[in-house]
C-alpha cells in the first residue's frame, strides 16, 4: 500500500514538472512578436547613437606674432616669420617655418650685426586626446633648419697678456681694439631642433599656439677671428653650440576635406 502511494506521487510530480517546463519554453504568438519588436527597437537606437566625428584636413598658415611685436618695440631687432603645417594623419603633421631676421648686439668687448633668412621643416605629433569635435594639440616636434646670413663685425677688443719668461708671466699689454667694420657674406648654418608646444582652436579653423624649441648646431661657417653669436632662425648661439627659442602663433586652417 505504501509503495502504491509512492508510485502515484512520483508519477504526479513528473507530470507536473513536464507541464511547467513546456509552458516556460513555449511563448504565445503575441508575446513572441512583442519581444521581437523590443529587440529591433533597441538595435535601432544603438545604431543611431553611434556618431563619427571626422577631422578637418588641410593647409594651416599663420605667423609668429612675437617677431613683429619685438620689431616694433626694440631698436636692435627686426624679424618676420610665416608658419604652416599640413595634416597627413589624425595626429601627424608636416610642418615648416620660413622667415627673416636681423639682430644687433653691442657689448663692452664687441659689437656685431647678423641678418639673413632661414627655413626649417619637420613633423609634429599630437599627444592630446580630443573629445568629440575638439581639435586642439599638445605636440612634440622635430625640425631641420638652414640659414643663409651675413655678419658684420662692427668692433671688437682683444685683451692680451705678455709672453712668459722663466715661468713668470709677462706684463699685460694694453687692450687692442678694432673699430673698422668688416662684413662676412653668405655664411651658413645647419641645425636640428626639438619642439614642445600647444595649439588651441579658438574659433572655427582659427588657432592660437605657443611653443619652446631647443636647437643644436650641426654645421656652420664662421667669420675669421670671430664666432657666430647669433644665427637667424636659430637665435643666440651658446658656447656649447646649442640655442633656445620660443614663439606665439596665430594660424588659419584651409579645410580641404574631412576624414
- Determine if the pTM surpasses 0.85: no
By the 10 Å C-beta count (0-12 exposed, 13-18 middle, 19+ buried), 140 is classed as middle
Q: Please answer whether residues 102 and 78 qualify as being in contact, where contact means their C-beta atoms are separated by less than 8 angstroms.
A: yes
For residue 203, give Cα distances in angstroms to 84, 126, 158.
18, 19, 56
The three cell numbers of residue 58 are 588641410
The pLDDT of residue 224: 79
The pLDDT of residue 27: 43
The pLDDT of residue 28: 44
The pLDDT of residue 131: 87
The pLDDT of residue 107: 82
In degrees and rounded to multiples of 5, residue 223 shows phi and psi of -65, 160
Averaged pLDDT, groups of 10, the chain, 259 residues long: 46 46 44 44 47 83 96 95 96 98 87 95 96 92 98 75 56 60 92 98 96 97 86 94 95 92
Give kind and range of the element (H or E) at residue 23: helix 2-25
Instruction: Map grid coordinates 556618431 to a residue.
Output: 51
The pLDDT of residue 8: 52
Specify the CATH number of the domain 57-258.
2.40.160.20
Q: What is the spatial distance between Cα 84 and Cα 43, in angstroms, rounded to a whole number?
A: 45
The pLDDT of residue 231: 96
Instruction: Map grid coordinates 646670413 to a residue.
Output: 149
Q: Which candidate, 102, 68, 88, 59, places its Cα nearest to that of 249?
A: 68
What size, in residues, is the chain? 259
The pLDDT of residue 199: 97
Amino acid at each position: 500500500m505504501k509503495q502504491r502511494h509512492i508510485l502515484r506521487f512520483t508519477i504526479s510530480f513528473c507530470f507536473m514538472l513536464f507541464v511547467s517546463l513546456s509552458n516556460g519554453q513555449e511563448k504565445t504568438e503575441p508575446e513572441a512578436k512583442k519581444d521581437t519588436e523590443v529587440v529591433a527597437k533597441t538595435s535601432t537606437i544603438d545604431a543611431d547613437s553611434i556618431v563619427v566625428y571626422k577631422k578637418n584636413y588641410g593647409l594651416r598658415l599663420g605667423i609668429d606674432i612675437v617677431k613683429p611685436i619685438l620689431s616694433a618695440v626694440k631698436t636692435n631687432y627686426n624679424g618676420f616669420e610665416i608658419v604652416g603645417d599640413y595634416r597627413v594623419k589624425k595626429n601627424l603633421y608636416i610642418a615648416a617655418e620660413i622667415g627673416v631676421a636681423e639682430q644687433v648686439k653691442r657689448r663692452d668687448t664687441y659689437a656685431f650685426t647678423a641678418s639673413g633668412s632661414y627655413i626649417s621643416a619637420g613633423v609634429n605629433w599630437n599627444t592630446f586626446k580630443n573629445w568629440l569635435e575638439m581639435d586642439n594639440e599638445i605636440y612634440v616636434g622635430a625640425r631641420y633648419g638652414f640659414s643663409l646670413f651675413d655678419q658684420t663685425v662692427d668692433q671688437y677688443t682683444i685683451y692680451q697678456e705678455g709672453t712668459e719668461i722663466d715661468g713668470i708671466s709677462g706684463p699685460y699689454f694694453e687692450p687692442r681694439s678694432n673699430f673698422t667694420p668688416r662684413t662676412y657674406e653668405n655664411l651658413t648654418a645647419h641645425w636640428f631642433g626639438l619642439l614642445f608646444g600647444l595649439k588651441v582652436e579658438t574659433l572655427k579653423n582659427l588657432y592660437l599656439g605657443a611653443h619652446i624649441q631647443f636647437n643644436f648646431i650641426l654645421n656652420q661657417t664662421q667669420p675669421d677671428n670671430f664666432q657666430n653669436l647669433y644665427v637667424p632662425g636659430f637665435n643666440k648661439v651658446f658656447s656649447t653650440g646649442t640655442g633656445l627659442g620660443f614663439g606665439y602663433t596665430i594660424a588659419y586652417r584651409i579645410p580641404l576635406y574631412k576624414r
